[in-house]
């Protein structure tokens, strides 16, 4: 499959969740032995590296596209590290003998191995905070919309949040201020499954269509997580590559027949991102 040239393979919610799943069991309970900070990332670490030594890691959590690594001191919560993969980053466990490369900007040395952030564009970050909802982590996470898998989230909440919005629904969905996780690929696929034209004003979304869209977002994200993501890059500590992008219905398929009706898939640019859709199956 030819990859769309506009796609920067930015890690989205499924890729971050794949990272969390691959790291959590290995890191939980591990002790921090050291820390190395390379070239500056988006935000400074926010503490002295020595402050992390001797702490133990709790279960890795995810909030949107962020990972939270809780730190424990004698079993009691003692802050943590909020991690973001930026536009090009990945985190993996490597052997202590593996020398850091030019794009490896953060190492957390633990008894389970070295947790390494590799980020060629350096838009990622690792930030310490006293708690997930305090300090810099609290400020960053407070900007996020609700998790797509939140059982309390329903179509009515989407419809109400977008009421009166004239902007096209696809970039509004991607904005993440109402519901997080629908990156470019996943927004295209979810809107196709819901039968919604990505150019439709968000404020015109009816309650039945809002229900369908939320269900489609959840289905697409779940499938992407089980496929290991969709970047064809390794976001798993086990070395498995993401495969969701090879089975998309519309994304990256401009000019190819729609899998449902055979009409050629169209491509337009919205908010500087490529949007793929079927002009027949998706209605305004």
CB 13 within 8 Å of CB 84: no
Active-site residue list:
11-12, 65, 273
Candidates 114, 93, 98; CA nearest to 22 is 93
Task: Return phi, psi of residue 36, to 5°.
Answer: -125, 130
Contact 211, 196 (CB under 8 A): no
What pLDDT score was predicted for residue 5?
37
Give, in words, the CATH class of 155-277.
mainly alpha
pTM metric for this prediction: 0.88
**CA–CA separation, 46 and 59 (whole Å):** 21
End-to-end CA distance of the chain: 30
**One fold for 13-141 and 155-277:** no
Q: Which fold has domain 13-141?
A: N-terminal domain of MutM-like DNA repair proteins (3.20.190)
Q: Longest C-alpha distance within the chain, in Å?
A: 62
Predicted pLDDT at 242: 55
Structural domain boundaries of the chain? 13-141, 155-277
> Which helix (H) or strand (E) segment is 112 a member of?
none
Opening angle at CA 249, ends 248 and 251, nearest 5? 65
Tens place of pLDDT for every residue, the chain, 284 residues?
A: 333 334 445 788 999 999 999 999 999 999 999 999 999 999 999 999 999 999 999 999 999 999 999 999 999 999 999 999 998 899 999 999 999 999 999 999 999 999 999 999 999 999 999 999 999 999 999 999 999 999 999 999 999 999 999 999 999 999 999 999 999 999 999 999 999 999 999 999 999 999 999 999 999 999 999 888 765 444 544 545 556 777 899 999 999 999 999 999 999 999 999 999 999 999 99
């Amino acid at each position: 499959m030819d990859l769309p040239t506009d796609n920067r393979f930015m890690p989205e919610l499924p890729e971050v969740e794949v990272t969390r799943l691959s790291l959590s069991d290995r890191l939980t309970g591990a002790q921090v032995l050291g820390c190395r900070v390379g070239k500056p990332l988006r935000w400074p670490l926010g503490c002295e590296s020595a402050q992390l030594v001797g702490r133990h890691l709790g279960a890795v959590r995810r909030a949107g596209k962020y990972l939270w690594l809780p730190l424990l001191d004698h079993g009691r919560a003692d802050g943590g590290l909020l991690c973001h993969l930026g536009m090009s980053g990945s985190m993996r466990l490597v052997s202590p003998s593996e020398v850091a490369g030019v794009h490896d900007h953060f190492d957390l040395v633990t008894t389970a191995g070295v947790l390494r952030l590799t980020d060629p564009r350096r838009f990622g970050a690792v930030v310490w905070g006293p708690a997930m909802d305090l300090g810099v982590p609290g400020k960053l996470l407070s900007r996020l919309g609700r998790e797509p898998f939140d059982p309390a989230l329903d179509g009515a909440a989407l419809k109400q949040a977008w009421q009166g919005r004239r902007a096209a629904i696809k970039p509004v969905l991607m904005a993440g201020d109402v519901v997080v996780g629908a990156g470019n690929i996943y927004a295209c696929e979810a809107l196709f499954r819901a039968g919604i034209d990505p150019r439709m004003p968000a404020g015109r979304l009816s309650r039945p269509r809002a229900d369908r869209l939320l269900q489609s977002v959840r289905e697409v994200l779940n499938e992407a997580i089980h496929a290991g993501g969709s970047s064809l890059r390794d976001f798993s500590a086990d070395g498995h590559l993401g495969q969701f992008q090879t089975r998309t219905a519309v994304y990256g398929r401009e000019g190819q027949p729609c899998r449902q009706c055979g009409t050629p898939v169209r491509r337009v640019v919205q908010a500087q991102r490529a949007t793929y859709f079927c002009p027949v199956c998706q209605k305004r």
